[in-house]
Amino acid sequence: PGMTAVDKYLSYNGLLLPTVAHSPGSLRYAERFQFVEDDVVAVTYPKSGDPLSVSPVAAGDPLLAAAAPPREALLPPSASAGFAVCCSKFRCHFSMALQGKYILYKGLIVPRETHSAESLKYAEEFKTRDDDVFAVTYPKSGQKDRAPSRASLLFLSGTEPPPERGAGRITPGTARGTASPCTTWMQEILPLVLSGGDLSSVQNQPNWDRVPWLEETRAALVLEGRPSPRAMVTHLPLPLMPASFFKAKPKVIYVTRNPKDVVVSSFHFHQMASFLDDPGTFDEFLDKFLAGEVLFGKWTDHVKSWRSPEVQDRILYITYEEMLEDLRGAVLKFSQFLGKELGEETLTHIAEQCSFSNMKQNKMSNYSLVPTEFMDTSKSHFLRKGVAGDWKNYFSPEQEARFLAVYREEMKGVDFKSSWDEN
């Protein structure tokens, strides 16, 4: 209603195309699309039997056979030139994004509730400062495919966003993220280290504002006017960091966690977060995780991307398990890495403030400020146990063997050793 002929169509190389299914960004993407040898392309003139031509490819898959927006959406962009995209990923991206809860961004699926075209564009164009501090983690995120709903796929490749949906949009008082325990911990520790132990840095401002996610909707609101040094977190793999990140040389703290515990934590998070899909059974969720059919892709791809020589001169690697074992020692490592001289009393003070029990009581850190319609803590607490090895209570011997087979194959030849490799 109210659309003019100009609004409804755009001209592209002499062709007239409907704006409801095309944009300058999607057409630029099509021009640059990199085919691989096993791709299959169905070509028709409009209204010449597109559903019939694609049905054999679906091979009985109800998600591919279901009524849907134009199947150009089956061609997702790669995260980088070196990442191949296989046919199974086409199906994965298509069905998830159709549910309306997700955005497909350069080959990664991100939750629509906490990301937008503007926030992702802001991250791409972000002006990094030399003294910025990034805490990087893989999120505890993933989702189970379901039958598609009426929502459509949003490709983000320089396009303008569609009209906002009225319900469920993020507001200043209802910020939510896809944080892992590692992320939440760093959102507590970094302000205290950078401020020399000033408790007001974590008591007067919620963690999503004090240390925002670079790629999420709150970043542009809180980072621009903030004095240096700025602290922020991100779940992005290295190839998707802004160009300025590689020029400015900020400090990076990369926190990893036993991926088997990540699966369990992700599973519980999806049970409580209404803005994500239902995880299904644990076995179903494990299959999705191993296939990388989860938010932000494969855990192994994320970890390997951040082992790049490009960042080796300015990155500190630490594990969640190391922080659990010796939090005070971890705080000391962070302070030395960031060039902050902290006294013995201050180190102890920060470690006590950042203990799991204290964080669980801090309403600025435990996500209790988030309305229950977005996070149902009756199903699972955001900060659950604060332990390592909880995976042993969930994995069957067969599931552990399946996990290890995939993990060892994908991490073969990678210079990455951790305590969980032998456990």
Where helices occur in 216-306 by DSSP H, the ranges are 219-222, 243-248, 259-272, 282-291, 299-305
235 is catalytic: yes
Q: Which of 308, 312, 310, 315 is nearest to 338 (CA)?
A: 315
Contact 130, 295 (CB under 8 A): no
**Concatenated DSSP letters for 24-74?**
HHHHHHHHH----TT-------TTS-HHHHHHHHHTT-HHHHS--S-GGGG
Structure tokens at 362: 């801090």
Class of residue 343 by CB neighbours under 10 A (exposed 0-12, middle 13-18, buried 19+): exposed
Contact 128, 241 (CB under 8 A): no
Which of 235, 268, 270, 302 is labelled catalytic? 235
Where helices occur in 195-230 by DSSP H, the ranges are 200-203, 207-210, 219-222
Beta strands in 112-262 (DSSP E): 133-136, 231-234, 251-256
Contact 301, 236 (CB under 8 A): no
Residues 6+ apart with CB under 8 A from 254: 136, 137, 306, 315, 316, 317, 318
Class of residue 398 by CB neighbours under 10 A (exposed 0-12, middle 13-18, buried 19+): exposed
Contact 270, 279 (CB under 8 A): yes
Give the H/E segment covering residue 109: strand 108-111
**Concatenated DSSP letters for 327-383?**
HHHHHHHHHHHTT----HHHHHHHHHHTSHHHHHH-TTTSSTTS-TTTB-TTT--SS
Q: Which of 162-170's residues contact partners 24+ apart within 8 Å by CB, and which partners?
A: 165/100, 168/113, 168/275, 168/374, 169/113, 170/113, 170/114, 170/217, 170/218
Query: Angle at Cα 351 formed by Cα 350 and Cα 353, nearest 5°?
Result: 65
Catalytic residue annotation: 235
